[in-house]
């Protein structure tokens, strides 16, 4: 059974870091919508050119284009054995489209990483970024540490003041949190406590995914 994963969670929950870690451990691609959007534009694919035209007008890429880019990426051979989606879907409409893309494939496992809001505010207010490549440091990474991507020095982000952080969380609750309710009733949905140390979160995440995969396989066989 392919491990087709989707991780949900608010900004600062650590889902990107955990997704990267799990993807490497399992040898499946972590598919970031930001990365594949930039790749489609750079490669001048038909849908990439449409996305570029939209962005050049200063507009947000619409659902139709974003769904098309995700569908193309999930159709590549390296995703046949599973994948982890990062950053998609962001809305219930996109989630419904993803259901259509997944028709005929193994079930989608959905993990919601749950972290109290006061902890999210603390984490986001102390985030780091690499001064060389711009990579965001993992949750809890200290200023002055080395970037895992290029080895550059991590510095404090200047745009994560408390007002900005609270506004980002408001946007999440309004726009993206309904996805949790959309997926919650599914037998392959699980929640994980993201307020623990990263290694503990990783262990709980692996256990939740294994349990959800077993449930999904039983459902397919049934």
Encode the chain (222 residues) as per-residue pLDDT tens digits: 889 999 998 888 888 889 999 999 999 999 988 888 888 888 888 888 888 888 888 777 888 888 988 998 999 999 999 999 988 898 899 999 999 999 988 999 999 999 998 888 888 777 778 888 877 766 556 667 888 888 888 887 665 667 778 888 888 888 888 899 999 999 999 999 999 999 999 999 999 999 999 987 776 554
Provide the domain limits for residue 100: 3-115+173-221
Active site residues: 15, 90, 127, 157, 168
pTM above 0.85, yes or no: no
Q: 129 in a domain, yes or no?
A: no
Neighbours of 132 (CB within 10 A): 14
Buried b (16+ CB within 10 A) or exposed e, 137-152: bbbebeeeeebeeeee
Quick one: DSSP state of residue 79?
A: G
The tally of domains found in the chain comes to 1
Q: 80 in a domain, yes or no?
A: yes
Contact 119, 195 (CB under 8 A): yes
CATH of the domain at 98: 3.40.50.300
Residue at token pair 């996805």:
179
Nearest to 175 by CA among 13, 8, 52: 8
Tell me the β-bridge partners of 41.
none
Collapse the DSSP code of 144 into the 3-class scheme (helix H, G, I; strand E, B; otherwise coil) and give the result: coil
User: Strand locations in the chain, DSSP E?
Assistant: 3-8, 30-32, 82-86, 108-114, 128-130, 154-156, 189-193
């Amino acid at each position: 059974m392919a491990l087709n994963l989707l991780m949900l969670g608010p900004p600062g929950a650590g889902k990107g870091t955990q997704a990267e870690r799990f993807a490497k451990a399992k040898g499946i691609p972590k598919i970031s919508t930001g990365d594949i959007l930039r790749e489609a534009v750079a490669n001048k694919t038909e849908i990439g050119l449409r996305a570029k035209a939209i962005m050049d007008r200063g507009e947000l890429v619409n659902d139709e284009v974003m769904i098309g880019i995700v569908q193309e990426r999930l159709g590549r051979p390296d995703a046949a054995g599973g994948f982890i989606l990062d950053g998609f879907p962001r809305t219930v409409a996109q989630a419904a489209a993803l259901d259509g893309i997944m028709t005929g494939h193994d079930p989608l496992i959905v993990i919601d990483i749950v972290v109290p809001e006061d902890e999210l505010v603390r984490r986001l207010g102390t985030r780091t970024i690499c001064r060389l490549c711009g990579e965001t440091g993992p949750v809890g990474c200290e200023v002055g540490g080395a970037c895992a991507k290029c080895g550059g020095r991590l510095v404090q982000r200047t745009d994560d003041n408390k007002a900005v952080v609270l506004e980002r969380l408001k946007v999440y609750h309004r726009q993206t949190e309904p996805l949790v309710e959309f997926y919650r009733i599914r037998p392959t949905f699980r929640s994980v406590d993201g307020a623990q140390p990263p290694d503990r979160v990783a262990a709980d995440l692996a256990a939740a995914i294994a349990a959800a995969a077993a449930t999904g396989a039983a459902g397919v066989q049934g």
